[in-house]
Amino acid sequence: MRGSREKPGATQTCMSADNRLGRRPSVLANPPYSAAAIEQRARSIRALGAYETLAVSISWDAKSPAIGGNLAVFARAASELGAVANVHTQGDLFVDESAAKLVSLAAQLKAAPDRAAMSRILVQADPTIAKLVTILRDDVGKRQREALSATRRDMQLWLAYYNDTSSGSERKKLRATVPPCSEPVIPDADAPLPDAPSSPIPVNVLPPRIRSGYTTAQDRSAALAMLNMNDFFAALLDLNEAASQGSPAIDAALQRLSDAIVEPEKDAPPLLEAQK
């Protein structure tokens, strides 16, 4: 059986213009982001976390050594973000302007003569921080849709493997789920999401390898559909505003942020890791 001897991942089944099954690169083997673009996202979150920790310590009137340590962490995180922000490759987040402002902000805070001056600088930095949070929020929303589309296409791919050995009405039904070869591997985030396909036969009747791949993709798709990061980014924006309003506002914002953090399920499979 083709599905049991062909290792999926490098390519996926697609429908050619002459209505024949063809092959095209698979999203699972061709990640849409460069290493630098992935680092832009990771380092942006790290820099924001370091900044918020510093802002809270200043607002809470922490001891000078604690503020100095937090400032050093933020300065390093801003510098590390700046090192990848200007690498404009596939999946670029375009945060070079924000990164440069964070590096400048760290320098200003280091030069501030006292805590009051630092607080004033933080207030002036609010738009920069809010812009970076918004960029990440919008990016997460778009990438979530792309990932959801990819997992649903992955489900279709497993059904297409089964399609190669099926016949009659089942075969026709399955062929309808195969994406056209001319269609982008990752549809634009604004494009309609493909429907989540369902197996035309009981899942437990599918060959073991196909059943395992299909159900894994199905679980990933369901997890992505349930994911909502908007509360997290809204809480992060709240914390940024609260940093200049004193302890009660900060405590409330920190609680909202804690409530909004999405904890990964134990032993959950990576959302877009290729099948081994």
Higher confidence at residue 275 or residue 30?
A: 30
Tens digit of each residue's pLDDT (9 = 90 or more) over 200-228 = 788 888 888 888 888 988 998 898 888 88
Tens digit of each residue's pLDDT (9 = 90 or more) over 70-118 = 999 999 999 999 999 999 988 899 999 999 999 999 999 999 999 999 9
User: How far, in Å, are 36, 85, 129, 203, 238 from residue 42 at the CA level?
Assistant: 10, 11, 16, 38, 21
Please report the sign of the dihedral spanned by the C-alpha atoms of residue 208, residue 210, residue 216, residue 219: negative
Tell me if residue 177 falls in helix, strand or coil: coil
Can you name the residues that pair with 13 across neighbouring β-strands? 23
